Homo-oligomer: A and B are copies of this chain.
């Protein structure tokens, strides 16, 4: 594995080791060119006609189907639209329609905050909802006839720990409990088989492993069987059966398209479209194998040095139990993260006291993670984190 297989498809600053593709994926060269295309040739020259001539109007569905290929979804079940947060709102609302007599929603205690925040907001709809937050490991045993829905991340953003999705989905289905999966840290990182696993509802992020650019639109997956019952709460004109008939009353589009709300942000969506093409040029199973070797190599380099005993590994060692990242804790995690950045290694800091390193195997090579590990060890050995500029923490506002 001398070189990342898709490295040349990405723009990366000279000398930078970028282990934060799980937060914001790097810029694909094709996305740079697509932005020129969509701005200059489409918007600039075709103007409003480009909704048809450049295929903008169908982009949310076409791009959704491309993403479907990367997550094991047959066509017509994946849509690109809005943000992950808003898509969670839509799908958790839909899930809660299923069993209106049930009031309990199971959530993960350390889920990415927006998942839980959105669930809180849904109490504006159903004030009797009870939100219960549990460690992911306790959710299987909490499934019971009082549970209205589960909202759960496939891979935890802090630790990288992976839930056994097929098993939990099966158990929930047996109890007739709809599950909304947040795939932000799994889609694009390793192969998913949503159809085969019996998933009904899932959302995911466009700007992490899919490299769609800052704040890229998210995607939503609804299995065919669950679509016709889905009455959108965000019933906007782009999700109408006949949006350009300008009818007086709302009638949802026949399939996944009903999850559209307003006019799609074509510029941002086009960058994601180009980025997805790049990823489809690779092989997700192969990329995941490479990610595993990156994880093992980085961890082996770290653990070969006794100074690493200062850190605690948060991420499960077994490949099938984790996503594409390596997380550790250290009392000086914040300052270490700053020191690493100053030395050209970009990971990130997450509360509480967590250093995360994400592996985007499309563009991260083995040499990168070995160098990153060596610099981290040197920072620990030489206490290079102990400088005022690294210790300084801007107030979180």
Q: How far is the CA of A324 from the CA of B125 in the complex (A)?
A: 39
On whether the beta carbons of B121 and A250 are closer than 8 Å, the reply is yes
Stretch at the interface among A37-45, A161-169, A278-286, A313-321: A37-45
The answer to whether A215 touches B264 (Cβ under 8 A) is yes
Determine which of B44, B113, B120 lies in contact with A246 in the assembled complex, contact meaning CB atoms within 8 Å: B113
Is the Cβ of B48 less than 8 Å from the Cβ of A20? yes
A332 to chain B, nearest CB (A): 19
How often does this chain occur in the complex, in copies? 2
Binds B, one of A71-79, A81-89, A367-375: A81-89
A209 at the interface (CB under 8 A from B): no
Chain B residues within an 8 Å CB radius of A216:
265, 267
Given A232-B121, A265-B217, the answer on whether A40 and B24 have CB atoms closer than 8 Å is no
A93 within 8 A of B: yes
| A49 lies within 8 A of chain B by Cβ | yes
Min Cβ gap A2→B in Å is 24
B85/A234 in contact, CB under 8 A? yes
Question: Which B residues touch A218, using CB under 8 A?
Answer: 262
Within 8 A of B (CB), among A234-258: 234-238, 240, 242-250
Tell me, rounded to whole Å, the shortest Cβ–Cβ distance linking A56 to chain B: 6
**Across-interface contacts of A47 in B (CB, < 8 A):** 13, 16, 18, 20, 24, 26-27, 346
Most chain B CB inside 10 Å of its own CB: which residue of A32, A56, A93, A237? A237
> Quick one: which of A45, A218, A245, A263 has the most chain B CB within 10 A?
A263
Query: Would you call A134 an interface residue if the criterion is a C-beta within 8 Å of the partner chain's C-beta atoms?
Result: no
In this assembly, does A36 line the interface, its C-beta being within 8 Å of a C-beta of chain B? Answer: yes
Contacting residues of chain A (146-178) with chain B, CB-CB under 8 angstroms: none
Q: Closest 3 CB pairs between A and B?
A: A83-B262, A85-B236, A121-B235
Chain A interface residues (CB < 8 Å from chain B): 11, 13, 16, 18, 20, 23-24, 26-27, 31-32, 35-36, 39-40, 43-45, 47-51, 56, 82-86, 89, 93, 109, 112-114, 116-118, 120-121, 124-125, 133, 207, 213-218, 231-238, 240, 242-250, 261-269, 271, 341, 346, 348, 350-351, 396-397
Q: List 21 A-B contacts (CB under 8 A).
A: A13-B45, A16-B47, A24-B47, A31-B39, A32-B39, A39-B271, A43-B213, A82-B83, A83-B263, A84-B262, A84-B263, A86-B86, A117-B236, A118-B235, A120-B249, A215-B262, A242-B397, A244-B396, A245-B351, A246-B350, A267-B271
